[in-house]
Structure 1
Amino acid sequence: MRALRAAATEPALAGFQRDVPILAAPLIDLLQGGPAEPVWHPAQHPGSTLSWGHSPGL
């Protein structure tokens, strides 16, 4: 997550991040809740969680 957060602050990636959300989830959360649960952390807002189908840009 630290590497993703660092990449999220890169100005050259700003346009890409608007079009393609960058999400990560801890493996333990995926195993316990499954990939459809709100276990995904957006690189731009690591303190929040989203479900797979939710797009933070919409």
Structure 2
Amino acid sequence: MPLVQVNILEGRTDEQKEALIHELTEACYKAIGAPRETVRVLINEMPKQNWGIGGQSAKKIGR
């Protein structure tokens, strides 16, 4: 059972997250032959103030 964990900045729509889950599931199916129903996708949404880019928070640099 493949488990895919993704860390992303907060702010994506439910539709975008559904699309991400679908595409990652398809990638596992195509790459390693994992049956789609066995693929698990875990999305961790990070607050922008908790994500650092180049020594500054994503919130501070407007991401």
Please report the TM-score for the alignment, with normalisation by the length of structure 2. Answer: 0.29
Tell which structure's C-alpha radius of gyration is larger: 2
Q: TM-score, normalised by structure 1?
A: 0.30
Higher RCO structure (Cα 8 Å, ≥6 apart): 2
